[in-house]
């Protein structure tokens, strides 16, 4: 059997085999072996694998394998758990189709490492790993747009997303409005420190708080009590906290999830220390496959708070993790002297779709983009040593594959030492990746106006002003 050459650009969406509802790499491997056996060895295993990959639209077996591996990781992580209505889902599909059409005529394409271009490259088989130029030179079918919208929320496919949306208005969800008075009373009891009243209200509405997962309205009360216990410890607060276990709350699960950083934004050292003292487990591993330390690096925005976790665990040996905790020696094992990342640096990248930071990790990213991810983690956590090491090897300080760079993020998070370091090393406060986007100076001016009592915001603005303007 002779195979036709694999095209350099995307295949047509016509006549492609639809993906299984639950892609399984082992199943595809067995299919390939069976294919070879049925033809009595007339074709090689690699040829059979390529045929299977092309049935779905993938340009190679390697791309099929990578797609399936990511899909299985997303399945373990579960959906985002925030149901959209059927109307919202349809609107998202129409918006994606419209944006695709609008971008078809653009040259050059806007920087889009984690936006629609990345999502199309990550979730549509025939676009997998392609550049924006290749993707937007093609067409997009409605079914492919539906797949992207579903996969962005980690649903298996469009049917799974619409089924979830249709079931989100079940009787339990509709009953939620009836506990509003109890919810308000419980919040007041927490504020007033009334232990007995809080216990009564929680017992009366236990079905709404036993799980920390979305969908149980009273769970917010548990978060309120935990936050209070970490920020204002004392006898009265401790009494409120003890109520949780009394009424059957799985406090350990709540504590571990709080330690992820998604419940309490911009985690402070005090809050992390408080969670650890209450019994949160820094070695707990969420079902999404990423360690708690990895979540901390990308979510906390506070290197000192991350250090409280790092010193209690063994860090995974990964490029971006080493950069995020300031481990220069390990980090430099992933790049050569010209700052070109090796294959190991690409094997364990931060998946924004799972870690909850928004966007999509683009498959087959450029060398600069892979290094940029590590540089951003270093900046976000104030690791000046790892930032300097990457700059010394030639990483361009103003580089970004999206609209924002390290200086944008450091200004936004009001990381004074990082802003000072970047400016001293040549970062441009007036840099714009795209004409209609904000520069770091624009962000600084906005923060200075809206955070007039925030010393860090004022200091950042003063640093930006000291650089003058082009």
> pLDDT grade, residue 96 (50/70/90)?
very high
Looking at the structure, tell me whether residues 31 and 155 fall in a common domain: yes
Q: Does 50 reside within a domain?
A: yes
Looking at the structure, tell me whether residues 355 and 292 fall in a common domain: no
Looking at the structure, tell me whether residues 271 and 345 fall in a common domain: no
Looking at the structure, tell me whether residues 271 and 359 fall in a common domain: no
User: What pLDDT is stored for residue 11 in this prediction?
Assistant: 59
Which of 43-47, 79-83, 110-114, 204-208 is the least confident region? 79-83
Domain housing 74: 25-167
Percent of the chain at pLDDT > 90 equals 51
pLDDT in tens, 24-36: 999 999 999 999 9
Looking at the structure, tell me whether residues 109 and 145 fall in a common domain: yes
Q: Does 14 reside within a domain?
A: no
Average pLDDT of 109-118? 78
Cβ-based neighbour number of residue 21 at 10 Å: 9
Per-residue tokens: 223: 């978060």
Looking at the structure, tell me whether residues 91 and 115 fall in a common domain: yes
Any idea how long the chain is?
470
Looking at the structure, tell me whether residues 46 and 100 fall in a common domain: yes
Q: Burial, 30: exposed, middle or buried (Cβ in 10 Å; 0-12, 13-18, 19+)?
A: exposed
Q: Quick check: 393 and 339 in contact, CB under 8 A? A: yes
Per-residue tokens: 407: 């200086």
Q: Does 310 reside within a domain?
A: no
> pLDDT grade, residue 218 (50/70/90)?
low
Looking at the structure, tell me whether residues 243 and 206 fall in a common domain: yes
pLDDT in tens, 402-412: 888 999 999 99
Among 254, 273, 301, where does a domain finish? Answer: 301
User: What pLDDT is stored for residue 179 in this prediction?
Assistant: 52
Q: Does 190 reside within a domain?
A: yes
Q: Does 18 reside within a domain?
A: no
Supply the mean pLDDT for the chain. Answer: 86
d(CA 272, CA 255): 10
User: What pLDDT is stored for residue 2 in this prediction?
Assistant: 39
User: What pLDDT is stored for residue 5 in this prediction?
Assistant: 43
Which of 117-121, 124-128, 175-179, 220-224 is the least confident region? 175-179
User: What pLDDT is stored for residue 172 in this prediction?
Assistant: 44
> pLDDT grade, residue 164 (50/70/90)?
confident
User: What pLDDT is stored for residue 224 in this prediction?
Assistant: 85
Q: Does 17 reside within a domain?
A: no
Among 142, 167, 192, where does a domain finish? Answer: 167
Per-residue tokens: 411: 């200004």
Q: What is the CATH number of the domain that holds 242?
A: 1.25.40
Looking at the structure, tell me whether residues 346 and 227 fall in a common domain: no
The total number of structural domains that make up the chain: 3
Among 129, 151, 167, where does a domain finish? Answer: 167
Q: Does 13 reside within a domain?
A: no
> pLDDT grade, residue 227 (50/70/90)?
confident
Average pLDDT of 149-164? 88
pLDDT in tens, 295-343: 999 999 899 999 999 999 999 999 999 999 999 999 999 999 999 999 9
Looking at the structure, tell me whether residues 378 and 240 fall in a common domain: no
The DSSP-derived string for 324-372 is: HHT-HHHHGGGB-TT--B-HHHHHT---HHHHTSSS-PPTT--HHHHHH
d(CA 381, CA 424): 18
Looking at the structure, tell me whether residues 118 and 134 fall in a common domain: yes
Backbone angles phi, psi at 403, to 5 degrees: -90, -15
pLDDT above 50: residue 253: yes
Looking at the structure, tell me whether residues 194 and 65 fall in a common domain: no
> pLDDT grade, residue 168 (50/70/90)?
low
> pLDDT grade, residue 82 (50/70/90)?
low
Q: Does 135 reside within a domain?
A: yes
pLDDT above 90: residue 127: yes
């Amino acid at each position: 059997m002779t195979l036709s050459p694999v095209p350099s650009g995307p295949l047509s969406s016509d006549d492609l085999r639809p993906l299984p509802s639950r892609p399984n790499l082992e199943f595809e491997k067995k299919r390939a072996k069976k294919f070879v056996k049925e033809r009595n060895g007339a074709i090689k295993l690699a040829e059979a694998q390529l045929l299977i990959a092309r049935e779905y639209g993938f340009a190679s077996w390697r791309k099929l394998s990578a797609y399936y591996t990511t899909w299985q990781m997303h399945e373990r992580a579960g959906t985002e758990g925030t149901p959209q209505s059927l109307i919202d889902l349809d609107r998202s599909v129409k918006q994606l189709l419209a944006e695709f059409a609008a971008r078809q005529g653009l040259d050059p394409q806007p920087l889009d490492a984690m936006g629609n271009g990345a999502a199309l490259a990550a979730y549509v088989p025939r676009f997998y790993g392609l550049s924006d130029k290749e993707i937007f030179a093609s067409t997009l079918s409605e079914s492919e747009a539906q797949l992207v919208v579903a996969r962005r929320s980690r649903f298996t496919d469009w049917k799974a997303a619409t089924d979830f949306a249709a079931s989100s208005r079940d009787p339990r969800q509709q009953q939620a409005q009836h506990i509003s008075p109890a919810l308000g009373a419980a919040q007041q009891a927490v504020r007033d420190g009334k232990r007995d009243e809080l216990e009564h209200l929680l017992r009366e509405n236990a079905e709404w708080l036993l799980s920390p997962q979305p969908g149980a309205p009273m769970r917010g009360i548990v978060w309120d009590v935990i936050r209070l216990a970490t920020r204002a410890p004392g006898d009265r607060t401790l009494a409120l906290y003890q109520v949780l276990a009394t009424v059957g709350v799985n406090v350990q699960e709540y504590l571990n999830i709080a330690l992820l950083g998604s419940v309490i934004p911009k985690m402070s050292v005090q809050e992390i220390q408080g969670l650890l003292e209450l019994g949160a487990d820094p070695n707990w591993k969420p079902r999404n496959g990423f360690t708690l330390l990895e979540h901390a690096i990308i979510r906390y925005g506070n290197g000192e708070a991350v250090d409280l976790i790092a010193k209690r665990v063994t860090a995974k040996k990964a490029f971006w993790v080493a950069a995020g905790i300031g481990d220069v020696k390990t980090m430099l094992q992933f790049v050569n002297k010209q700052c070109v990342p090796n294959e190991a640096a690409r094997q364990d990248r931060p998946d924004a779709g799972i870690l909850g930071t928004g966007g999509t990790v683009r498959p087959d990213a450029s060398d600069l983009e892979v290094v940029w991810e590590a540089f951003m983690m270093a900046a976000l956590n104030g690791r000046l040593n790892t930032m300097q090491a990457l700059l010394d090897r030639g990483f361009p300080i103003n580089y970004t594959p999206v609209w924002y760079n390290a200086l944008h993020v450091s200004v936004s998070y009001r990381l004074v030492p990082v802003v000072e370091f970047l400016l001293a090393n040549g970062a441009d406060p007036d840099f714009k990746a795209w004409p209609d986007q904000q520069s770091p100076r624009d962000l600084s001016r906005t923060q200075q106006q809206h955070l007039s009592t925030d010393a860090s915001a004022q200091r950042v603005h003063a640093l930006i002003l000291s650089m003058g303007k082009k």
